[in-house]
Copies of this chain bind each other. A is one copy, B any other.
């Protein structure tokens, strides 16, 4: 049909006919059926994006980076959430692939064998994001959480802290938090130091949990001189508690979180943290997907971003 040509601005159509079609379309409130279009053309302008959660500030920023970058590429992101469950990831992935998207962006490089197989046979570019510690299926964009933890350990040791506690989430499936902790312990081990205490939580208001865990740890292990939190939110809660209770921060007690969320800007004292390059990761991943059609399906790029430590006011400086 000529109509099809007009609606997609393709092929040569006379202005007269074009106008007529456009007018009729508007009048009828016509919305083309992409299902049929996609089936016929074997092309779908959708990019599947799979993340574990929307509730912790970090993924919304990644998504917004993706949306922004995809803005005028004609591609549309479609989001799926797994709640850190590998089974849910598998089903969300299956569902997405059944729509034959033009690309897929998925958080993490740990997947069930079935999920991995699907990714390998996706027939579209796949970008695994957030984490570069391991082998990806196709392209990978992220930071090394292992090295992030390691560098933070070095910075803390360099500042002279020695009795160090770790506070984090109790989520076996949060591989990135796990890798940060492993890297952190490795960094401490190089100086012959082991963690003085650890505390884990799950669920609830992160800010509140940060308070509670901090109090519990400082009561239990009073000689601790540094608290390393697995995310900024619990770190902020801990920081507030320490300030209220008269701790000498960063003199006698140092603190650090992870992520670099802008919430920290509003705290009375700036928590030390490490920027996780969230928006940048989203943008880069989107660029890879959007650029692929031109460059062919070569794939396999690995982009490692470098998070930098923001010392803020909670690590004492030399």
Spell out A's residues near B (CB within 8 Å). Answer: 29, 31-36, 38-39, 44, 54-55, 60-61, 63-64, 67, 76, 78-79, 81, 94-95, 97-100, 117-118, 121, 204-211, 236-237, 240, 244, 262-268
Complex Cα distance A94/B32, Å? 9
- Asked whether B266 lies within 8 Å of A208 as measured between CB atoms, the reply is yes
A295 to chain B, nearest CB (A): 25
Instruction: Find the B residue at minimum CB distance from A68.
Output: B83
Contacts of A265 in B (CB 8 A): 204-205, 207-208
A281 to chain B, nearest CB (A): 16
A45 to chain B, nearest CB (A): 8
Oligomeric state, in copies = 2
A138 to chain B, nearest CB (A): 16
Contacts of A204 in B (CB 8 A): 262, 265
A291 to chain B, nearest CB (A): 22
A201 to chain B, nearest CB (A): 12
Q: Could you say which of B39, B99, B267 contacts A240, with CB atoms under 8 Å apart? A: B267
- Asked whether A206 lies within 8 Å of B266 as measured between CB atoms, the reply is yes
- Asked whether B268 lies within 8 Å of A244 as measured between CB atoms, the reply is yes
- Asked whether B268 lies within 8 Å of A99 as measured between CB atoms, the reply is no
- Asked whether B263 lies within 8 Å of A240 as measured between CB atoms, the reply is no
- Asked whether A118 lies within 8 Å of B29 as measured between CB atoms, the reply is yes
- Asked whether B35 lies within 8 Å of A118 as measured between CB atoms, the reply is no
